[in-house]
Amino acid sequence: MPISKLSAFLRLSIYAAFTIPLMPVQAVLVWLDSPWADRLPHWYHRRCCRIFGFDVVVRGTPSADRPTLFVANHVSYLDITVFSALIPVSFVAKREVAAWPFFGWLARLQRTVFVGRERRNVHGERDELGNALARGRNLMLFPEATSWDGTRIKPFKSSLLSVAEIAPEGRPLTVQPMTIAYTRVDGMPIGRSHRPFFAWYGDMELVEHLWQAMGIGRTTVVVEFHEPVTFARFGSRKALTQHCEQVIGTALSEINAGRRAA
């Protein structure tokens, strides 16, 4: 797959020129706890999709309930821009992301909730997630707990879906599974060998990967919103996790195989 250095340079230059001036604006909105702290990132990421050359195809309908816990497979950091362009949402991310240069700052500005892997912190982190939901903020969780290759999903961790048991204001929390797949470049299907141009996982270098992703032509990204559910429908965290894993994994396989129309 050809990589255009000129395209990569132009896209990244425009992205930086667009992003950096907005960062202090968003910081003030977060500090003021303004409703625009949700709206500005939603608007911003829609423009970023244009800068990156992403044509986003949407199947299904996002939940209108506030709050909603969105549950999705995770291909790369590019998912953040695509999902945020479609729904106003804050993310649940591993604590290490907060220390990343630049992208860690962007994550904090989108009011990401950072969680660790230590069991001793589980209750405190659950309380933090509960507070975000109680304030009506949508959250997005990646239950694979890592990004993966875009061809298939890794097993979902049921512990991460414990937040689904929270009932904000006594109402069952809406949980909506979602699937994301990077399917075409300039109209041509992306095969297994080319998915690493978009999937970021393992020991891939972030800067090199970003440069390559930005140097590729126009990319079709398919996002499918599945039927919203609640924890009460399944009765256990494990059953809910299995449902989300099955629905998302099946959709990803069918989208990649071209069996679901884009």
Which pTM was predicted?
A: 0.93
Angle at alpha carbon of residue 220, lines to 71 and 183, rounded to 5°: 75
Q: Where are the beta strands (DSSP E) in 106-173?
A: 113-115, 139-141
List, for residues 203-254, the tens digit of each pLDDT value. 889 899 999 999 999 999 999 999 999 998 998 999 999 999 999 999 999 9
Average pLDDT score over residue span 100-128: 78
List, for residues 3-40, the tens digit of each pLDDT value. 899 999 999 999 999 999 999 999 999 999 999 999 99
Question: In this predicted structure, what is the pLDDT of residue 196?
Answer: 87
Q: Where are the beta strands (DSSP E) in 88-240?
A: 90-94, 113-115, 139-141, 174-185, 188-189, 219-225, 229-230
Question: In this predicted structure, what is the pLDDT of residue 37?
Answer: 93
Question: In this predicted structure, what is the pLDDT of residue 119?
Answer: 54
Question: In this predicted structure, what is the pLDDT of residue 124?
Answer: 61
Amino acid letter at 227? E
Domains and CATH numbers, the chain: 5-256 (3.40.1130)
